Amino acid sequence: MKKVLITRDFIETEIGDALKGFDVIVGKKDSHMDRNEILSLLPECHGVIIRHVDRPDREFIDRGRNLQVIANYGAGYETVDVAYASSKGVWVCNTPDVLNGATADIGMLLILNACRLSYRAESFLRKGLWQDSDPNRFHGMHLGGKTLGIVGFGRIAKALAARAQAFDMKVVYHKRSRIPEAEESSRGVTYMGFDDLLGSADVVCVLTPLTEQTRGMFSRETFRKMKAGSVFVNIARGQVVVEQDLVEALQSGHLAAAGLDVFEKEPEVHPALMKMDNVTLLPHIGSAATEIRKQMADLTVANVAAVLRGEAPITPVNSLPE
């Protein structure tokens, strides 16, 4: 009987029926399985369902000598050595599209919170200070008529652009490969070079994948190119940002505020960010809606079941020779 390892239990789906006929090993609901435990179980496994923290590198893949499929519970798969998995005949799958809208919602939430200083205002209220409030204390940035610059323009970014336009924002974007002009026109967005976008956008939101080219792309030099008094939002990957440089840009006042759902060394957060009342911090919850997480879980399980039954995976990120 083929064996499937799930490194952390899904709260959102029943795996019994979906993986009927397979021997399933399931981790705990409230914690990630220790890597050493994962490595000890892998030699007997034919499929594994991972979270991004599990990091299927060469050691991981070599240990899984019977592996046929690695299914990531999430859209991003930069922690998987996809090329090496492909060389070993192992499928790698993710959950694209399912979480586009939910993650775009969090992007819009962070934009609103950062621009309107909601954390500062709520903290003030919770401390019982409203009766002493200066009516001008919480003046933030009105979104109407402002420019949102999106770096990266994939599916989530396109969903975010539509939401921002509903708030009467102008949307510009930068992407390594520009989308067709007809699509730009239909979506009401404008392409800009990277430096031009930084210098003109009132809000910059990062939605680029994490690659060797984008790692640390938002650094001291990049932040200096941003418009004075602008807002920075990141819902991509924390390692796209040099966090200390972001802290300095905020402390200097060059950036007015920030909204972050991802962090350079998560789950650690830069201690200076934790103390700033002009920064909204979320614990990587872009897809954290009950309906979305269930769809992600269902798709992840379906990918594993398909491969182990000799079928093609539903949403592979690599290709294997026939």
Active site residues: 237, 266, 284
For the chain, first and last CA: distance in Å?
25
Element (H, E) at 148: strand 147-151
- Map 183-231 to HEC letters: HHHHHCEEECCHHHHHHHCCEEEECCCCCCCCCCCECHHHHHHCCCCEE
Cα angle 58-300-110, degrees, rounded to a multiple of 5: 95
Torsion of CA 184, 190, 191, 197, to 10 degrees: -160
Q: Is residue 93 within 8 Å of residue 75, measured between CB atoms? A: no
Residue count of the chain: 322
As a whole number of angstroms, the distance between CA 102 and CA 104 comes to: 5
Element (H, E) at 126: helix 118-126
Sheet of 47-50, strand order: 23-26, 3-6, 47-50, 69-72, 91-93
| Residue 316 DSSP code | B
Name the token pair of 314.
Answer: 């539903």
Name the token pair of 247.
Answer: 């802290």
